[in-house]
Amino acid sequence: MAATFTSVCSIASTNQTVDKKFINSSETLSSFSGISLTSLGGRRKNKVLKKRNDSKIQAMAKKLHFNQDGSAIKKLQAGVNKLADLVGVTLGPKGRNVVLESKYGSPKIVNDGVTVAREVELEDPVENIGASLVRQAASKTNDLAGDGTTTSVVLAQGLITEGVKVVAAGANPV
């Protein structure tokens, strides 16, 4: 906040034009009591910026999912399975193609696991978290090795599936 205040004061003292929209809509500047601004004619104006309750930015609260009845881990695993089943068809030298719908233009036909994984977004947010875990594994494999993304997705699916079974049997999840 101190850097923002300093930059606004330096703009005002060098007789430069300051955009009123920027000053009025800036949430960080609205907490200061007053700043001297210069208009085009060179006359000084004192514009008092008041705190307004309607200008506060409020973030949406995140939903918390606890795994007391096992539903959260089932949804997470369902997201992993949905993405891995879709990407898994591209595995191997005779892997099948996947058609991806695009918002603009014609659909794309791809045979690359990481490309398919990047395009998948699931409706359920918990399932989407599971899909993003596997998507991250594919992206990391692509960055480091350049190949084997589909294999890493299938292996990640197997690790998560077996890990859930072991934890359900009573093993320490940490």
Q: What is the pLDDT of residue 55?
A: 58
Give me the amino acid identity at 119: E
Q: Which CATH architecture has domain 71-168?
A: Orthogonal Bundle (1.10)
- Spell out, as residue ranges, where the chain has pLDDT lower than 50: 1-53
Q: What is the pLDDT of residue 23?
A: 41
Q: What is the pLDDT of residue 52?
A: 47
Q: What is the pLDDT of residue 173?
A: 85
155 close to 91: Cβ distance less than 8 angstroms: no
Domain with CATH 1.10.560.10 in the chain: 71-168
Q: What is the pLDDT of residue 65?
A: 72
